[in-house]
Structure 1
Amino acid sequence: LFFFSPRRNLAIGIGIQNFPEGLAVSLPLRGAGFSTWRAFWYGQLSGMVEPLAGVFGAFAIVLAEPILPYALGFAAGAMVYVVMDDIIPEAQTCGNGKLASWTSILGFVVMMSLDVGLG
């Protein structure tokens, strides 16, 4: 059953990540003058490549299984670095830097809780 599968944690993490990712595509388009519907549609289109990339990734995992833990750790660290290095300084100058910092910490705690508590 999927409910008791370790893959459930990965699916939950992907689901949590996909919502802000769609917003990150749609909101700038809306701000640039696109209609709400058109910005939403382009956000949806940006996510439609994920199933195809998922199939390609499944085949790649078979080949790269021995280095997979190291590669995933590196990718996670790179994503955290990009967010901390890019978003938080920008939020300090033209937004709410404390909110960006605290939500980054909250996101990290949620993902670690999913990893440790449900894994």
Structure 2
Amino acid sequence: MEWVLWGLGLYGSFWLLLVAFARSLLLRFQPGGTHLVVVTRNSQGSVEWVIRSFFFWSWLSGRSCQIVCLDTGSSDDTLFILNRLKHRYPWIRIRSVMEHQLEDRMAEEGVDAERVVVIDLRNRQYGWEIPLDLHG
């Protein structure tokens, strides 16, 4: 009886790995997708959570995603965290912009996307609840 449970567990694990592999291949060929623009300044407490959860929910829904981080002069570890995440997720782009150039840069970054979501983490009330409502 124990071997039946082991067999079911092995079958389930194999199936999950196969689905994850197929989904990762499909994401490479899917056009469009969601484009996230994150505006940061001294946002070390929430930037990693926002990026990782956005990627997770995009992956879970089967959509491709692009992430652009526009930093407006952080003096904390925000840029260090973003560069560390860039090694994990190579499609993240990090740009340092001046405050007066921010609107022009945001308009440039979302031109080729099907859907653009802008999250401004400079406002401290955002960051913990944002990406979970991106299921549209």
Q: Same fold (TM over 0.5)?
A: no
Which protein has the bigger helix share? Answer: 1
Which protein has the bigger strand share? Answer: 2
Work out which structure has the larger RCO, using CA pairs closer than 8 Å and 6 or more positions apart in sequence. 2
TM normalised by structure 2 equals 0.27
Point out the structure with max Rg over C-alpha: 2
